[in-house]
Amino acid sequence: MHIHVEDDRTGMTVSTLKRALADNLYYIQGKDETFANLYDYYMALAYTVRDRLVHRRIKTAQAYFQKDTKVVYYLSAEFLIGRLLLNNLLNLGLYDQMQQVLKEVGLNLDDLLEREEEPGLGNGGLGRLAACFLDSMATLEIPAVGYGIRYEFGIFDQYIADGWQVEHPDNWLRSGNPWEIPRPDYMVEVKFGGYTEAAADAQGRVRTRWVPRITIFGTPYDTPVSGYGKNTVNTLRLWSARAGEDFDLHVFNAGDYTQAVAAKTFSENISKVLYPNDNTPQGKELRLQQQYFFVACSLQDIIRLYLRNRSTFDDFPEKVAIQLNDTHPAIGVAELMRLFIDEYGLDWDKAWDITRRTFAYTNHTLLSEALERWSVNLFGKLLPRHLEIIYEINFHFLNEVRAKYPNQPEKLARMSLIEEGGEKQVRMAHLACVGSHTVNGVAALHTELIKQELMRDFYELYPEKFQNKTNGITPRRWLMLSNPELCRLISEKIVDRSEAETTAHPWITNLDELRRLEAFVDDPQFRAQWRSIKQSNKNHLADYILRSNGLEIDPNSLFDVQIKRIHEYKRQILCAMYIITLYNRIKANPSLEIVPRTFIFGGKAAPGYFMAKMAIKLINSIGEVVNNDPDVAGRLKVVFLANYSVSLGQFAYPAADLSEQISTAGKEASGTGNMKFALNGALTIGTLDGANVEIREEVGADNFFLFGLTAQEVMDLKAKGYKPLDYYNKNAELKQVIDQMSSGFFSPKEPSLFMSIVESLLNHDEYMLLADYQSYIECQERVSEAFRDTEQWTKMSILNVARMGKFSSDRTITEYCRDIWNVEPVPIDLEAYSQDKAGLRIQRATEMA
């Protein structure tokens, strides 16, 4: 009789998983059921899942090495990955089995999921996009590694005290992290400061040698990244900084205890916190140190992996694709040149050719102030060799420009990598553009504005470099994880039973299949089911708001939601002005019938961003008045959700009725929150900005609430001479709103509190709130009218979901692979466990990534 045996670390049956859970509790947590608490059970469960990921990761690394595949290396200062346990259970197909295991031992999975700390390794869309891309690359079986920083403290925990944002450290590692695997054997050196000198190499050639002032070390920590329904497990490799010498015993014995650990303090500060406040010179210096640190670590690691079975760099661009996620890692262009020339002895022309064929650059902003520039003095102080290399790159580049555009000194000045003026600065976006073979925007409008406005000179010189790759989101986290009931309803309607044998939701990896929902839009029973799920999600969010804010809201009201990073161009204040307008109308006519609304805000302001913090205070001050006025009871509520995160987003997106995407046209590169809301059935009110344009094209103009100036109209109005005071004086409702803000109506204890906002609006209004106010108010009236027709609103909601296939990050990554990286999928075969192959068989030492 054949007896099937499963390994406790790789088996997938309920009985095997139960044994593995007990073993990990006992041998890793060091507890049994007598002393274990819920956190111990969470850790044991996480290690049980991680074992299965590690098994697949090793097989994936073996396949990449044996097949000598080209690998994508994605460099990003942020990876907002969210909680991982549920995501990995679903990706591995273990959810149902683990539910059964926990039920049999008397535990509840939801209780354990809540014990997981969320890594705050990002500030918003940039980091979340990077995480979505990693998910899609693993799901599409693309060989890839993500590189970033293992911040000891992530994006701060946000508390609201008296309406103000208060920042507390996000100590996400306080209790350990079961998902990461330290790799001290891959530690690398990183240099800072010092000077350069000429020195002869072994062949007698004169080379530049960098003599650093300080050397630190980067230690990698690997987090496995699983693909949905696939055996592929890629790696997110995050670098942690440590000193070359943690402790100077001689200095300690001399009595200087602080100086004895000074090197340790300096080094560890580099990976201490995400985005230090750069309003001070010290903050700017630390930010540049962070960027160079993780790039230098990553490039050394990439070269190590490449050289495992090669002795030259001739094939480097054919085996290595490096993507720069915005300008934070742009120093990589100079660093790779330094490594090739100074460390490996390549000549300049060959090194430059390989570098340019290796890098690609994604631009994520149209705000010129967000395009990083570093003082030449700071650059020379921290990275003297890199400044020399950048000047050399600039010398050759400007010669190229001069040859094509003779007698145009103004063009040379605009395109130079060095900005002249009072304080010379290194333009990192220019370095990334010159040093990459491809530059892409992240939405069709964004890419056109890059080509025609932001980087027009570079587009004219290198038109073949520029592409568009509209952003996308992973439907695994943002629909399957966030909205499981809606997923089940969709599958009931569009999945053949034969398809469902492999995965519960086969369409989740082919989001265009959602189009099949259009066949059911006229089915009253289906619409009723759709509404029931939306209502259930709203009830859940209402319960959360009651627990977290102590505020009771009406779950039948229109949930009008704006959750995103707080920034002036995202115009949270415009929405606040609409709330004041509604409030004033009710006060003027207490019997006024309006559609009841709950306005829900969420998002963090950068610690040094005064106006963003004032926006949060204004919203909360308006809420204090509106929520406590009996005249508006049951009609308006204002909520600010503190400490917005991926997990909180998974609550909020499925509950929203209306998605506020109201940035000034021409300012938002893409946005991905707009996609998450629409994929969960919210309708959008928005401008023709970023990916809003393409969302409206896909879902249909009738299913999108459009208002405001276009990007061209914004530019034309500014060129003509925009006068916000004219709008203020000509619009009585707008004037009343502004006057209430300036008079202290919403801040009676400090009447002038919001004058900074008022003065900004009346004197400058950089982001055209007053110009778009009336259009926005009128559009919101159309929203209210539409919401009154429940059946029609439901049809619009269904069509929004059905037509969101384009906005899967799977589509985006497929386009990157085809058009930029030239990378093919590598399927991973997973052998069944057998005892005769379970032993240790040492044949030869092979480094695996």
Asked whether residue 838 carries a pLDDT value surpassing 80, the answer given is: no
pLDDT tens digits along 624-665: 999 999 999 889 999 999 999 999 999 999 999 999 999 999
402 is catalytic: no
- pLDDT (0 to 100) of residue 847: 47
Decide if pLDDT at 278 tops 60: yes
pLDDT at position 366 is 85
Contact 236, 79 (CB under 8 A): yes
- The answer, yes or no, to whether residue 845 has pLDDT greater than 50, is no
Closest to 82 measured CA to CA, from 668, 482, 505: 482
Taking CB atoms within 8 Å and a gap of at least 24, the contacts of 68-71 are: 68/309, 68/319, 69/143, 69/319, 69/823, 69/824, 69/826, 70/143, 70/318, 70/319, 70/320, 70/321, 70/821, 70/822, 70/823, 70/824, 71/143, 71/144, 71/145, 71/305, 71/319, 71/320, 71/321, 71/823
pLDDT at 260 over 60: no
Whether 111 contacts 40, CB under 8 Å: no
Q: Is 607 exposed, middle or buried (0-12, 13-18, 19+ CB in 10 A)?
A: middle
Residue tagged active-site, from 565, 571, 617, 635: 565
The tokens describing 226, both together, are 């699983």
**Mean pLDDT, the chain, whole residue set:** 93
Give the model's confidence band at 513: pLDDT under 50 very low, under 70 low, under 90 confident, else very high. very high
Percent of the chain that is helix, strand, coil (3-state, to 5): 50, 15, 35
> What pLDDT was estimated at residue 125?
84
Strands (E), 62-138: 71-75
**Is the CB of residue 208 less than 8 Å from the CB of residue 80?**
no
Q: Which range has the worst mean pLDDT, 98-102, 389-393, 501-505, 764-768?
A: 501-505
Which residues have CB under 8 Å from 236's CB, separation 6+?
Answer: 79, 81, 134, 145, 146, 148, 222, 223, 224, 225
- The whole-model pTM stands at 0.95
- CA angle, corner 257, sides to 251 and 245, nearest 5? 55
Residue 581 near residue 691 (C-beta atoms within 8 A): no
Higher model confidence: residue 599 or residue 252? 599
Instruction: Specify whether the CB–CB gap between 217 and 188 falls below 8 A.
Output: yes
- Contact indicator for 772, 735 with CB cutoff of 8 Å: no
Q: Among 95-99, 276-280, 645-649, whose mean pLDDT is lowest?
A: 276-280
Active-site residue, selected from the candidate residues 570, 617, 667, 803: 570
pLDDT at 283 over 70: yes
For residues 152 and 586, what is the distance between their CA atoms, to the nearest angstrom?
A: 49
pLDDT (0 to 100) of residue 501: 54
Q: How far apart are CA 323 and CA 148, in angstroms?
A: 12
- Length of the chain, in residues: 849
Closest CA to 240 of 283, 299, 276, 186: 186
Name residues whose C-beta falls within 8 Å of residue 145's C-beta, 6 or more positions apart in sequence. 71, 72, 73, 74, 234, 235, 236, 237, 849
Q: Pick the catalytic residue from 139, 365, 672, 684.
A: 672
Catalytic-role residue among 385, 564, 597, 613? 564
Mean pLDDT of 299-325: 96
Show the beta-strand stretches assigned E in 662-707.
683-686, 705-706
Based on the residue annotation, tell me whether 350 is a catalytic residue of this protein.
Answer: no
Token pair for residue 785? 């009218």
Closest CA to 214 of 242, 193, 184: 193
Q: At a CB cut-off of 8 Å and minimum separation 6, what does 312 contact?
A: none
Does residue 764 carry a catalytic annotation?
no
State the burial class of residue 551 (Cβ atoms within 10 Å of its Cβ: 0-12, 13-18, 19+). Answer: middle
- Please report how the helices 14-27 and 95-104 are oriented relative to each other, as an axis angle in degrees rounded to 10: 70
pLDDT number for residue 282: 85
Instruction: Choose the weakest-confidence range: 120-124, 150-154, 254-258, 627-631.
Output: 254-258
CB contact set of 578 (below 8 Å; sequence gap of 6+): 776, 777, 780
- DSSP for residue 201: -
| % of the chain at pLDDT higher than 90 | 86
Average pLDDT over residues 529-554: 97
502-522 mean pLDDT = 92
Nearest-angstrom CA–CA distance, 431 and 415: 10
Determine the straight-line distance between the first and last CA of the chain, rounded to whole angstroms: 41
Mean pLDDT of 33-52: 96
Q: What is the pLDDT of residues 715-746, one digit of tens each?
A: 999 999 999 999 999 999 999 999 999 999 99
Range in 359-363, 504-508, 734-738 the model is least confident about: 504-508
Quote the CA–CA distance of 738 and 740 in Å, as a whole number.
5
Looking at the predicted structure, is the pLDDT value of residue 443 above 90?
yes
Q: What is the pLDDT of residue 613?
A: 97
The predicted structure's pLDDT at residue 421: 82
**848 pLDDT band (50/70/90 cuts)?**
very low
Task: Please give the backbone phi and psi of residue 722, each rounded to the nearest 5 degrees, phi first.
Answer: -75, 130
Q: Is 364 a catalytic residue?
A: yes
Of 788, 782, 789, 769, the closest CA to residue 580 belongs to 769
CA distance 65 to 85: 28
Provide φ and ψ at 3, rounded to 5°: -110, 120
What is the rounded radius of gyration, in angstroms, for the C-alpha atoms of the chain? 28
Choose the catalytic residue: 191, 373, 635, 676: 676
- Residue 371: band (very low, low, confident or very high) from pLDDT cuts 50, 70, 90: confident
- Catalytic site residue 505? no
Could you report the per-residue pLDDT of 171-199, keeping only the tens digit for each? 999 999 999 999 999 999 999 999 999 88
pLDDT of residue 846: 47
Task: Count how many Cα atoms sit within 13 Å of the Cα of residue 622 in the half-sphere of its side chain.
Answer: 32
pLDDT band at 7 (very low <50, low <70, confident <90, very high): confident
Indicate if 430 belongs to the active site.
Answer: no
Exactly one of 364, 451, 465, 476 is catalytic; name it. Answer: 364
Lowest pLDDT segment from 223-237, 242-256, 789-803: 242-256
- pLDDT band at residue 9 using 50, 70 and 90 as cut-offs: confident
**Token pair of 17 as six digits:** 């998983």
The residues, any chain, with a CB within 8 Å of residue 473's CB and separated by 6 or more, are 132, 672, 675, 676, 679, 807, 808, 809
